[in-house]
Structure 1
Amino acid sequence: MKAKHIKCLAVLFSAVTVLLVACCKDSFDYGVFIGDDINQQKKYECYDNIVVDPSSFKSKQVETLKADGKNVYAYLNIGSLENAQPYYKSYEDVLLDRYDGWPDEHWADVTKEKWQRLVVQDRARVYKERGLDGLFIDNTDVYYRYHTPEVYQSLKSMLASLKRQGFKLIVNGGDVFVSETLKDGSAKKLYDGVNQEDVFTTYDFNKKKYGRQAKKNTDYYERYLKQARKAGLDVYIVEYRAGRELSKKIDAYCDRHGYKWYNADGINLN
């Protein structure tokens, strides 16, 4: 009786495992983990496309992920700099105002050749050496903050250079910059996809509270993403702590439009 009971449990366990693996493969095709390290790679098994902080990964870890069929994107901050970066002191002379909501980060003067070399030569070389083929480009919002033709052209120049090096590029946020490239027809030549945060959810930095995005903002982002998709770009969405009912709505929305989305546990993305 005991042996039979154990055998039944084993069969049940196997069935549940198969079911979980199937659900895992079907449900999670995109995840953003820039607050993680290599010791947390177990969670990546359920994702086909992942964004990671490249400073935490060595070539061997990247090779393992790619061998498992995953598309791995390295986070690359193109428009600002955190003081935690080891090269921060060397670039203080090209930093501008403090980044609202992130006290340890400053906007960068992207028109400076020194900054451009850091992005398209130094960082790009390191990421290539680690086997990373994709880049998750953050903070083209610098064009919204410093709205000049020089900033716009500098961002385009850096993206074009990264693209020529064979990277697949996803631009995170930067709707003002992206919209400008959609208007002048350069978007598809510069990058492959866009990621937008907070389409349906939001985070109040002052109150440190997660909530639901205002309808007018959701409507704006939906129109914006539709334009990006129409231009032939891949579309990704990151939400923060979307509840069960809202998640169902987002699932249906993304299924209709062919978007991928990730429901993050918090703004630190870990």
Structure 2
Amino acid sequence: MKAKHIKCLAVLFSAMTVLLAACCKDSFDYGVFTGDDINQQKKYERYDNIVVDPSSFKSKQVETLKADGKNVYAYLNIGSLENAQPYYKSYEDVMLDQYDGWPDEHWADVTKEKWQRLVVQDRARTYKEQGFEGLFIDNADVYYRYHTPEAYQSLKSMLTSLKRQGFKLIVNGGDVFVSETLKDGSSKRLYDGVNQENVFTAYDFVKKKYGRQTKKDKAYYERYLKQAKKAGLDVYIVEYRADRKLSKKIDAYCERHGYEWYNADSIELN
């Protein structure tokens, strides 16, 4: 074989290697598996950053994942109370309205000291003992639903306590709360990143159908995430059943902006 042909093949092989490596990196940076149980851990080998339901894990499994170089985040519901939780009956007195779309869940009164102790002492201590170093904070949207100064300060107080305990924090959703912390300059002191669901896709809880996000809401989320990134926060996105064409578009979008994203098979994240 002539030297120039060998050189051309080498260049082609190198380009293909870079392309494949880039595809793999974009595909497997981030995964959210809060609907899984411990028997699904095999799939986590392909991801660098994973979010899991801590009730399904034991310390040994967490340490194994960390030893493999993975950042493991425990799901922590900061703003609502789920019927399935073993402590549910003891906290019925902090329940507020039913959570739309989730019949077995109620918003929690985050201003109650009893609730705050559950989150920042009981739950956080348990997850720390399990070996988790990061928390995926869900339902800060409670501030959108119950828009009071007391609720805002209560959320900030809980996040401050969790940060002091050494956790890395990702706030899922909660754009109204997050936007206010961006305005008053407290965001970086309170948490490390934000996750936003359904920037490009959407789920209709009434019709139980997956689809595309509206142009108006998509534009809103894009502006919001850009502001979060500008403030020095890590940005993550979760989409639901994005097809191949849309996935390529999201890949390119996240590559341009330095975001990580996960394409979930279902709203249950299993």
Give the TM-score normalised by structure 2: 0.91
Aligned to 2:72: 72
What amino acid does structure 2 have at the position aligned with 1:188? K
Quick one: distance in 2 between partners of 1:200 and 1:187?
A: 25
The percent identity for this pair of structures is: 89
Quick one: distance in 2 between partners of 1:22 and 1:211?
A: 27
Contact 1:120 1:161 survives alignment (8 Å): yes
CA gap of 1:114–1:161, structure 2 versus 1, over 3 A, is: same
Note if 1:260 corresponds to 2:229: no
Note if 1:110 corresponds to 2:106: no
Quick one: distance in 2 between partners of 1:56 and 1:43?
A: 15
CA gap of 1:58–1:190, structure 2 versus 1, over 3 A, is: same
Q: Which runs of 5+ in 2 are unaligned?
A: 1-18
Aligned to 2:165: 165
**Once the two structures are superposed, what CA deviation does each residue of 1:38-96 show, in whole Å capped at 9, x if it has no partner?**
11000001100000000000000000000000000000000001100000000000110
Quick one: distance in 2 between partners of 1:158 and 1:23?
A: 38
Aligned to 1:189: 189
Aligned to 1:136: 136
Aligned to 2:209: 209
User: How far apart are 1:27 and its partner, in Å?
Assistant: 2.7
What amino acid does structure 1 have at the position aligned with 2:250? I
SS at match of 1:103: coil
Quick one: distance in 1 between partners of 2:119 and 2:40?
A: 27
Contact 2:202 2:213 survives alignment (8 Å): yes
- 1:37-186 matches, within 5 Å, as 37-186=37-186
**Aligned length, in residue pairs:** 252
What amino acid does structure 1 have at the position aligned with 2:61? Q
Give the TM-score normalised by structure 1: 0.91
**Once the two structures are superposed, what CA deviation does each residue of 1:226-258 show, in whole Å capped at 9, x if it has no partner?**
000000000000000001110000000000000
Q: Which runs of 5+ in 1 are unaligned?
A: 1-18
User: How far apart are 1:146 and its partner, in Å?
Assistant: 0.2
Contact 2:80 2:108 survives alignment (8 Å): yes
CA gap of 1:21–1:64, structure 2 versus 1, over 3 A, is: farther
Contact 1:24 1:46 survives alignment (8 Å): no
What amino acid does structure 2 have at the position aligned with 1:162? L
What amino acid does structure 1 have at the position aligned with 2:246? L
Aligned to 1:11: none
What amino acid does structure 1 have at the position aligned with 2:107? W
> RMSD of the TM alignment (CA)?
1.4
**Once the two structures are superposed, what CA deviation does each residue of 1:172-223 show, in whole Å capped at 9, x if it has no partner?**
0000000000000000000000000000000000000000000110000000
